[in-house]
Amino acid sequence: MTKRYGIDLGTTYSTISWYDDSRQEVKPLPLESEDGETTTLRSVVYYPAEGTPVVGEVAWNTRKQDPGRVIVGIKRKMGDEYETEAMDGRRRTPLEVSADILRALKDNAEIEMGEAVEDVVITVPAYFGERQCAATMEAARIAGLNVLNILSEPHAAAVAYSIEQNSSLTNKHVLVYDLGGGTFDVTLIKPVIPAEFANSGDSVQSLTLNTLCKDGNRELGGLDWDDILIDIVAEKCMTQFDVDPRLDARNAAVLHDNCEKAKRALSKKSNEMVVADLQGHMIEVSRDEFEDRSSGLLLQTQMRLEQVLSEAEQTHGITRDQIDVLLCGGATRMPMVKQMIGSVFSGPPLEYRNPQLLVACGAAYVAHAMDQAATIPLPGPGGEATDDRAVRIAEDSITDITCHAVGIQVIRADATGERRPFNAVVLERGTLFGEQRQFVTETLFDNQVEVCIRLFEGDSDDIEECVHLVDFRIEGLPSERPRGRPIRTTLWFGANGIILGNAIDMETNTEIEIRYDRWSTPSQPSDQPAAEKKPASMLNPIADEPVVEQPVVEQPIVEQPVVEQPVVQQPVVEQPVVEQPAVELPAVELPVVENITLDDIDGPFDPSEPFTDSELLNPAMPTEALPDRGHDTDDSSDQVIHQIDADQDADDEPPRESPRPLKLY
């Protein structure tokens, strides 16, 4: 079997591991460092004026001589529109810097293994958004790696602990408290290996990882505790020696390095002396003052922990005494973390021999198990490998939920009666990957020949508080139709969090595919022909269809001319309102089922009769301007979106092929 590897691409340290099938154990690969070999590589890159980038401890120590050429903590910027300061006339993106770190891991591993290293599973924080995950995958591709899958760090930690410490597991749910160098996650997972497996006669047990709820902060981690300690030392240095080492880049590099070491020392000692700068000024810091100053950071993690526990009890009926807490990440070594966990729960947390390696080991187990014929023997009580019990990780063994809601822009009247755009949440936070959601909107204008589906990320109904993801357009619709024509959209999260779905004009069966792959963010290209009309029964969305890469094209906002209406030049000023004939509507509920056609609607379909109780979808209107279109706008402000669960389809209709469940995320 081709060797597969697990990579923990961390904010401060990165690790690569593999599962040795002959010895039936995971091995973190040794990585070159300034002091010899280690199992972790600093996620720090030095860009010399000439030559190749330098990654690791050498790059970290180079900050003291040439800080302007060293990049630290780039993971926090993944997926953002960020560039480094110019070096030799060139700025670098987080994607490029991360690719250099991954390339260094790959090169080190190839030297150790004596063969090419290509197939990998890479971990990401559970609270990473769509762009962050995709940027990680793209960085790996640039580094010459083939990403088999993306795995959340809490899932990786739970896999490694469950396999290696299965003899100490109970039938409790596992809450992974993951505080790493730059990110924080708290994730509640169902029991991974049921306790009754130990007493059953089965020799192979399917390992399952089903996420119930999660929260986190991708900009909170050990680096923030470093900053607190840096401020303590710098302030004392100013008081005692009238010197602020933070003002000089080289002194700041020395201060950061020594404070990071002091933070680790204070986990074992009550006091530590810190060299503050190149001049050798010595400052004494106590654990008490460090914990007091950083208590606000710990409180942030506790608040998110309490939020997950509250959601677990309210939504799933799970109380704290039904949960085991697993600590993960190097920053959990701080005594203040364990004390806080002890105050929240009645018992001590579960601890791994090295929480910094836990994620990489779990990724290696998952990478090995992606061969569906592979099994992983469980160790016995003494840690020795056994042949009588093993676990298997199947395609649907690991399921995840969304940590960010996805909605669509709709136009409705606000509390003042003014019509403006709102974000209508479709895939709510916590939706299971692969679970479909459907909703129906209506066309906004008479004679509308194009509809724009605008997707946003965020829970708020305020469009300004959400992140715009992508636009999709249904084009080529008949022109001579009144407003209120129904548009049904289906959305779900596919493998690795890709947003999939389709949108269909229910009257003409004109349909478009929706696929947002998180890194390239194209809408439909402007020269794309109108969507082909085809029966809805022909639709067959598959979660892992190959995607054709499209160039990133900024879609212009196109306003369709209104037939038989005078063309008014923008900006619109006091346009006359053209009265539309009033239509008495019967109390009819809009049927929304899988593979619906016009024949499925009871009674004749009258194009002049709009559906009721539905929000109106804006075809291509910018959020900053909502001019009156000269149409009747007597819709009430309490209009709501038609939204259903795709599982509530009509029983007599053959179900559409469902998207495959998420493999390993």
Q: What does the alpha-carbon distance between residue 549 and residue 521 come to, in Å, rounded to a whole number?
A: 10
- Other CB atoms closer than 10 Å to residue 606's CB: what's the count? 8
Question: Does the structure show a pLDDT above 90 at 48?
Answer: yes
Greater pLDDT, 248 or 428: 248
Q: In what order do the strands lie in the sheet with 173-179?
A: 323-328, 173-179, 184-189, 209-217, 398-399
Sorted by sequence, the CB contacts under 8 Å of residue 384 that are 6+ apart come out as: none
Per-residue pLDDT reduced to its tens digit, 441-450? 888 889 888 8
Per-residue pLDDT reduced to its tens digit, 454-492? 898 888 888 888 888 888 888 889 988 998 889 999 988
Greater pLDDT, 179 or 22: 179
Q: What does the alpha-carbon distance between residue 246 and residue 445 come to, in Å, rounded to a whole number?
A: 60
Burial class (CB in 10 A: 0-12, 13-18, 19+), 457: buried
Binning pLDDT at 50, 70 and 90, where does residue 627 land? very low
The letter for the amino acid at 537 is S
Per-residue pLDDT reduced to its tens digit, 353-403? 788 888 999 999 988 888 777 778 777 655 565 666 777 776 667 777 777
What is the mean pLDDT of the segment spanning 302-311? Answer: 93
Q: What does the alpha-carbon distance between residue 114 and residue 459 come to, in Å, rounded to a whole number?
A: 49
Strand 486-493 and strand 499-505: the pairing is antiparallel
Q: What does the alpha-carbon distance between residue 389 and residue 409 come to, in Å, rounded to a whole number?
A: 52
Contact status, residue 662 vs residue 434, Cβ threshold 8 Å: yes
- Other CB atoms closer than 10 Å to residue 75's CB: what's the count? 27
Q: What is the pLDDT of residue 200?
A: 60
Q: Which residues pair with 20 in a beta bridge?
A: 25
Q: Is 70 helix (H, G, I), strand (E, B) or coil?
A: strand
Contact status, residue 59 vs residue 97, Cβ threshold 8 Å: no
Helix (H) or strand (E) holding 226: helix 222-241
Question: Does the structure show a pLDDT above 90 at 179?
Answer: yes
Tally: H helices and E strands in the chain: 10, 31
Contact status, residue 50 vs residue 26, Cβ threshold 8 Å: no
User: What are phi and psi for residue 297, nearest 5 degrees?
Assistant: -65, -45
Contact status, residue 27 vs residue 20, Cβ threshold 8 Å: yes
Per-residue pLDDT reduced to its tens digit, 20-39? 888 888 888 887 655 555 78
The CA distances from residue 624 to 420, 474, 556, 621, 655, in Å, are: 9, 22, 15, 8, 41
Which homologous superfamily does the CATH classification assign to the domain defined by 5-220+297-399? ATPase, nucleotide binding domain (3.30.420.40)
Per-domain residue ranges of the chain = 5-220+297-399, 401-665
Task: Please say whether the dihedral angle defined by the alpha carbons of residues 6, 8, 14 and 19, taken in this order, is positive or negative.
Answer: negative
Helix (H) or strand (E) holding 216: strand 209-217
CATH of region 401-665, choose from 3.30.70.260, 2.30.30.90, 3.50.50.60, 2.60.34.10: 2.60.34.10
In 458-572, DSSP assigns E strands to: 467-474, 486-493, 499-505, 510-516
Sorted by sequence, the CB contacts under 8 Å of residue 27 that are 6+ apart come out as: 17, 18, 19, 20, 364
What is the per-residue DSSP string for 438-459? EEEEEE-STT---EEEEEEE-S
As given in the structure block, the two tokens for residue 37 are 């070999």
What is the mean pLDDT of the segment spanning 223-246? Answer: 95
| Mean pLDDT for the chain overall | 75
Helix (H) or strand (E) holding 109: helix 94-113
Q: Is 321 helix (H, G, I), strand (E, B) or coil?
A: helix
Binning pLDDT at 50, 70 and 90, where does residue 194 land? low
What is the mean pLDDT of the segment spanning 81-102? Answer: 91
Greater pLDDT, 5 or 615: 5
